[in-house]
């Protein structure tokens, strides 16, 4: 009887051990994403794709999303920094637009108050018009812009965003005073798309991921892309090949909470890098025409410091902030 009892307990122990081994050892629990922009915008798209990729890579149990737009993403940054200290399951989507927003708004909370994790990709802006537009080529558009700058309404992200800086830079290269650029800023991608499709905005500029579905179904016609060289799958010339030394692109990545231990930070970095190698992530890189350029930890933090210097100089150059 005692032998039978011992065999029974050994069987139970083996079963429990097997069950434990069959359960994935997740690096992260439920990841809470802060997307500091509206639903459907670039921050939001990045968060949702990365969330799926974390699940696909089996490095997170689940994901949740919160959106908090405004001031180039700095409102979401402030909420994230204040509410997540020490939480290894919290991720904030960041990008060049947020850096520009910090330089303009000088908020009390900056990226120095959170933890750099990973830069993921750069997304280059397209310049597009609705299919009914009188502008069939970039040359058509820029001739009208040169002849009467204020007649062309440009729609894109928030004031001082990469969208805004890019168009101001293009105007400067064309000899057009920046104060003649009729740029209309929007907090979210959905609103500017609606205005452009309705004809209230003559030209829209933004990342391909936000505009891709409208481009593919023929509602928007791409006149140019702000990449250093042509991107496969986008039938449009670069600004550079048309004679304008202008690149318009927004990198994106993620920061973690303040107060992470070195071990926690390493776990988060490893999880995000694993997600960036997943099939889900790679499929979306192709679909969205993102250019991957992974950079992690302190190297990413150093890059962001350099971006503050670069973008501040551009904001000064195009007249959006003073020296």
DSSP assignment of 153-210: EEEESSTTSHHHHHHHHHHHHTT--GGG-EEEE-SSHHHHHHHHHTTSSSEEEEEHHH
Lowest-pLDDT range of 52-56, 177-181, 267-271, 298-302:
177-181
| 13 belongs to a structural domain | no
Q: How many domains does the chain contain in total?
A: 2
Instruction: Please report, rounded to a whole number, the percentage of residues in the chain having pLDDT higher than 90.
Output: 80
CATH number reported for the structural domain that contains residue 236 in this entry: 3.40.190.10
| 322 belongs to a structural domain | no
Give the mean pLDDT of 75-97.
Answer: 97
In three-state secondary structure terms, 27 is coil
| 106 belongs to a structural domain | yes
Count Cα atoms within 13 angstroms, Cβ side, for 146: 10
Which candidate, 221, 215, 241, 222, places its Cα nearest to that of 230? 241
pLDDT in tens, 53-75: 999 999 999 999 999 988 889 99
Q: Does residue 266 share a domain with residue 216?
A: no
pLDDT on residue 59 = 98
| 23 belongs to a structural domain | no
Cβ neighbours around 35 below 10 Å, total: 26
Calpha distance 61→45 (Å, rounded): 20
DSSP class of 232: T
Q: Does residue 181 share a domain with residue 116?
A: no
Q: Does residue 81 share a domain with residue 50?
A: yes
Calpha distance 323→315 (Å, rounded): 9
- Has residue 154 got a pLDDT over 70? yes
pLDDT in tens, 133-146: 999 999 999 999 99
End-of-domain residue from the set 191, 215, 242: 242
Calpha distance 82→107 (Å, rounded): 13
Please give the structure tokens belonging to residue 161: 């965003």
End-of-domain residue from the set 200, 223, 242: 242
| 21 belongs to a structural domain | no
Lowest-pLDDT range of 42-51, 90-99, 189-198, 273-282:
189-198
Confidence of residue 319 (pLDDT cuts 50, 70, 90): confident
pLDDT on residue 125 = 96
Q: Does residue 254 share a domain with residue 112?
A: yes
| 78 belongs to a structural domain | yes
Asked if 39 and 72 count as a contact pair (C-beta separation under 8 A), the reply is no
Q: Does residue 128 share a domain with residue 238?
A: yes
Confidence of residue 39 (pLDDT cuts 50, 70, 90): confident
Q: Does residue 274 share a domain with residue 137?
A: no
| 166 belongs to a structural domain | yes
- Tell me the C-alpha to C-alpha distance, in Å, between residue 135 and each of 61, 77, 200: 49, 39, 15
- Has residue 318 got a pLDDT over 90? no
Q: Does residue 273 share a domain with residue 223?
A: no
Q: Does residue 109 share a domain with residue 254?
A: yes
Q: Does residue 109 share a domain with residue 56?
A: yes
Q: Does residue 116 share a domain with residue 255?
A: yes
Q: What's the domain range around 191? A: 124-242
End-of-domain residue from the set 216, 242, 268: 242
pLDDT in tens, 161-203: 899 999 999 999 999 998 899 999 987 667 899 999 999 999 9
Report residue 279 CA to chain centroid gap.
19
Q: Does residue 142 share a domain with residue 32?
A: no
pLDDT in tens, 236-252: 999 999 999 999 999 99
Please give the structure tokens belonging to residue 168: 């101001």
* Per-chain mean pLDDT for the chain: 91
CATH number reported for the structural domain that contains residue 82 in this entry: 3.40.190.150
Query: For the purposes of burial, counting CB atoms within 10 Å of the CB of 5, is it exposed (0-12), middle (13-18) or buried (19 or more)?
Result: exposed
Q: Does residue 129 share a domain with residue 235?
A: yes
| 44 belongs to a structural domain | yes
């Amino acid at each position: 009887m005692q032998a039978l009892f011992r065999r029974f307990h050994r069987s139970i122990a083996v079963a429990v051990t097997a069950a434990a081994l069959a359960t994935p050892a997740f690096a992260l629990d439920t990841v809470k994403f802060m997307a500091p922009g509206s639903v459907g915008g670039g921050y939001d798209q990045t968060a949702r794709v990365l969330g799926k990729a974390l699940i696909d890579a089996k490095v997170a149990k689940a994901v949740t999303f919160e959106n908090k737009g405004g001031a180039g993403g700095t409102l979401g940054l402030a909420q994230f920094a204040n509410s997540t200290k020490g939480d290894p399951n919290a991720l904030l989507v960041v990008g060049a637009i947020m850096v520009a927003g910090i330089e303009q708004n000088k908020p009390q909370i900056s990226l120095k108050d959170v933890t750099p994790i990973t830069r993921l990709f750069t997304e280059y802006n397209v310049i597009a018009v609705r299919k009914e537009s009188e502008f069939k080529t970039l040359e058509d558009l820029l001739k009208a812009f040169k002849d009467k700058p204020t007649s062309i309404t440009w729609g894109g992200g928030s004031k001082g965003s990469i969208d805004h800086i890019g168009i101001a830079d293009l105007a400067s290269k064309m000899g057009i005073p920046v104060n003649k650029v009729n740029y209309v800023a929007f907090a979210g991608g959905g609103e500017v798309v609606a205005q452009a499709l309705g004809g209230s905005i003559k030209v829209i500029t933004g990342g391909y991921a936000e505009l891709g579905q409208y481009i593919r179904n023929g509602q928007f016609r791409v006149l140019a892309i702000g990449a250093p060289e042509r991107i496969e799958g986008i039938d449009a010339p670069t600004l550079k090949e048309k004679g304008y030394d202008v690149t318009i692109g927004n990198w994106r990545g993620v920061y973690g909470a303040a107060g992470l231990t070195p071990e926690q930070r390493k776990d988060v970095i490893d999880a995000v890098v694993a997600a960036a190698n997943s099939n889900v992530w790679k499929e979306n890189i192709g679909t969205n025409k993102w250019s991957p350029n992974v950079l992690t930890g302190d190297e990413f933090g150093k890059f962001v410091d350099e971006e503050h210097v670069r973008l501040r100089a551009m904001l000064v150059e195009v007249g959006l902030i003073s020296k």
